[in-house]
Amino acid sequence: MIGVLADPGEHDVVREFFELFKTPWEFCQSDRLYDVLLSTGARSVCGATAKLLVIYSGEKTVGDEEAGVQIDAQRTSSVLSYGERRLPVYGKSVTFRDKGIGLTTEAHPREPAAYVVRASGRLVVRIGYDLFREVRVLLTAGQPPANAGVPVLEIHIALLREVIIWSGTPLVEIPPVPEGYRFIACLTHDVDHPSIRRHKWDRTTFGFLYRACVGSVINVCRGRASVRDLLTNWAAVLTLPLVHLGLAKDFWRELGRYGEIEPGAGSTFFVIPFKNRAGRTCDGQAPGRRAARYGARDITDEMRQLMAAGCEVGVHGIDAWLDSSQGREELMEVVRLTGVSDIGVRMHWLYGGEGSPANLERAGFAYDSTSGYNETVGYRAGTTQVFKPLGATRLLELPLHVMDTALFFPGHLNLAPREARDRVSGFIDNALRFGGTVTVNWHDRSVAPERLWGRVYRDVIEDLKGKDAWFPTASQAVSWFRKRRAAGFESVKWGPAIVRAKVSVDVDENLPGLRLRIHKAREHREGAWIGGDASGEYVDIGLSQGTEASVRI
């Protein structure tokens, strides 16, 4: 059991942190004996005792003086090194002059940001930043694009886990990994342009003509497209007048093609509820080009076909992030057309703000999937996991990690196909390491002329399948995380060579099960530190309703 001592203002963050790091814990109670006592800030430790004391603070503490350790430097917005991984710290951090272990600054590798001492018969690990203030930043403001590729919240969890196991304390947790799979892959599609015929001769059409005629030639010369792609795009240009006359097939109206690319996988399509609505920003009217030339009722037949094939339809919101009454109107438009009430949302252009979670929750959405980047790919909230935004009481957030336009647009990452596949492989590697999801957004028109990004998308799906991913709809993925959040540790008892754990779990036959992960404690040796990976020695067992398990360790 972990006892946590934190300021009352941090309690909401503490609760969410331990939904992501699903292990037995409670707020510190006096006169209790804990395996681990975790303290943040400069607070004094309560009357409880523990075998291991972990203190996080980005400022000097009384314990530093008592341990005879001097502060070397204090910084704001530093980058630490943990094993081979970067660990950005957005608040205050401190480094120490001696006794350092395992955690150093990236710019000054000789300056340790953690130390270990033995005091009053227990082990004390001091880490030079405030954990829960960092988690608050990640779950609210999020990371800047420069650090987008770092799953920093998962690294915070991994560091604490390793400290516990390294100290000689065993650990149980429910990892964010569905039973029978290695991680979760969510395939999603923002439906922005389901028909080129609806655009007439507007900005979108002229952009298509330029990229299909000129851009295709440039891409062939740069080795980023084939001659076949060039000919396909030129053929589309030649047929465009016939498309507008209704004499040729609309080559953008092919939502059904995703069924051919994603056989056997659930996927989610976010549709815009109302056409010709640009919506608002915090400062007034949004740019006119944000308005879509279609509304959900214009593609009712396609939506029903997608749902019949096992796909999900969500709302590509316009003003829901800013106004809950507008959000309710957007939600009900799609509910009326689909007959499904449990619907999620992703905001068009990824609009969002501090009050968005509360607005979306009041509007009645089941989940949100807006947390991501337009200009790059990565972990805005620093996590691979579905989480509850701090401004919400029920709404969960399915983070967006990879978007096609961010990968390929010249104004963004501007990657070649091989480079894009390699970049996505990094997210798969992180999901294999930490669990959780890889959430991909491939726009509706991205497999059609002039983009023709379908081959890269097929390769990405093959890579995901090759790593034993579960392919749920967004709603199913969120439901699985709700199931994990509802699980509770009733008791955990450790013997000399055995652990007995009783866990309460809700059963849902439509979702994969949970698993209990039991980490064997390492033999603690003074001065020894193994940094960067505590995942090697553990046992996983499947959990069923009211599971009571005994496992030899």
Same fold, 2-173 and 183-195+254-481: no
φ and ψ of 139, to 5 deg? -85, -5
DSSP SS3 for 18: helix
Treating both helix axes as pointing N-terminal to C-terminal, what angle do 324-338 and 300-308 enclose, rounded to 10 degrees?
Answer: 70
Q: Report the C-alpha gap between 161 and 165 in whole angstroms.
A: 6
The reported pLDDT for the residue numbered 50 is 81
- Nearest of 164, 220, 165 to residue 536 by alpha carbon: 165
Domain 183-195+254-481 has CATH 3.40.50.300: no
Mark residue 479 as left, alpha or beta (left: phi above 0; alpha: psi -120 to 50; beta: remaining).
alpha
The DSSP line for 44-104 is: PP-S-EEEEEEEE-SS--HHHHHTT--EEEEEEEEEEEETTEEEEEEEEEEEESSSB-SEE
φ and ψ of 537, to 5 deg? -110, 95
Q: Report the C-alpha gap between 392 and 362 in whole angstroms.
A: 9
The reported pLDDT for the residue numbered 408 is 97
Place of tokens 């960092």: 134
The reported pLDDT for the residue numbered 167 is 86
DSSP summary character for residue 387: B
Q: Report the C-alpha gap between 203 and 41 in whole angstroms.
A: 54
What the block records as the tokens of 331 is: 């939600």
Cis peptide before 450 (omega within 30 of 0): yes
The structure's pTM equals: 0.94
The reported pLDDT for the residue numbered 525 is 57
Q: What distances in angstroms separate CA 133 from CA 143, 186, 370, 393, one per listed residue?
A: 13, 29, 23, 20
Domain range annotation of the chain: 2-173, 183-195+254-481, 200-251, 494-552
- Nearest of 413, 397, 396 to residue 405 by alpha carbon: 413
Terminal alpha carbon distance of the chain: 18
Q: Which CATH number is associated with domain 2-173?
A: 3.40.50.880
The reported pLDDT for the residue numbered 56 is 94
The reported pLDDT for the residue numbered 48 is 65
The reported pLDDT for the residue numbered 72 is 81
pLDDT in tens, the chain (553 residues): 999 999 999 999 999 999 999 999 999 888 788 889 999 865 556 666 888 999 999 998 888 877 778 888 788 888 998 888 899 999 999 998 866 777 888 777 778 889 888 877 788 899 999 999 999 999 999 999 999 999 999 999 999 999 999 888 889 999 999 999 999 999 999 999 999 999 988 999 999 999 999 999 999 999 999 999 999 999 999 999 999 999 999 999 989 899 899 988 899 999 999 999 999 999 999 999 999 999 999 999 999 999 999 999 999 999 999 999 999 999 999 999 999 999 999 999 999 999 999 999 999 999 999 999 999 999 999 999 999 999 899 999 999 999 999 999 999 999 999 999 999 999 999 999 999 999 999 999 999 999 999 999 999 999 999 999 999 999 999 999 999 999 988 888 877 777 888 888 887 888 999 999 988 877 655 555 555 555 557 888 888 766 776 666 6
| Half-sphere exposure at residue 191, Cβ-oriented, CA atoms within 13 angstroms | 34
The reported pLDDT for the residue numbered 193 is 97
Q: Give, for 478, the enclosing helix (H) or strand (E).
A: helix 474-486
The reported pLDDT for the residue numbered 201 is 86
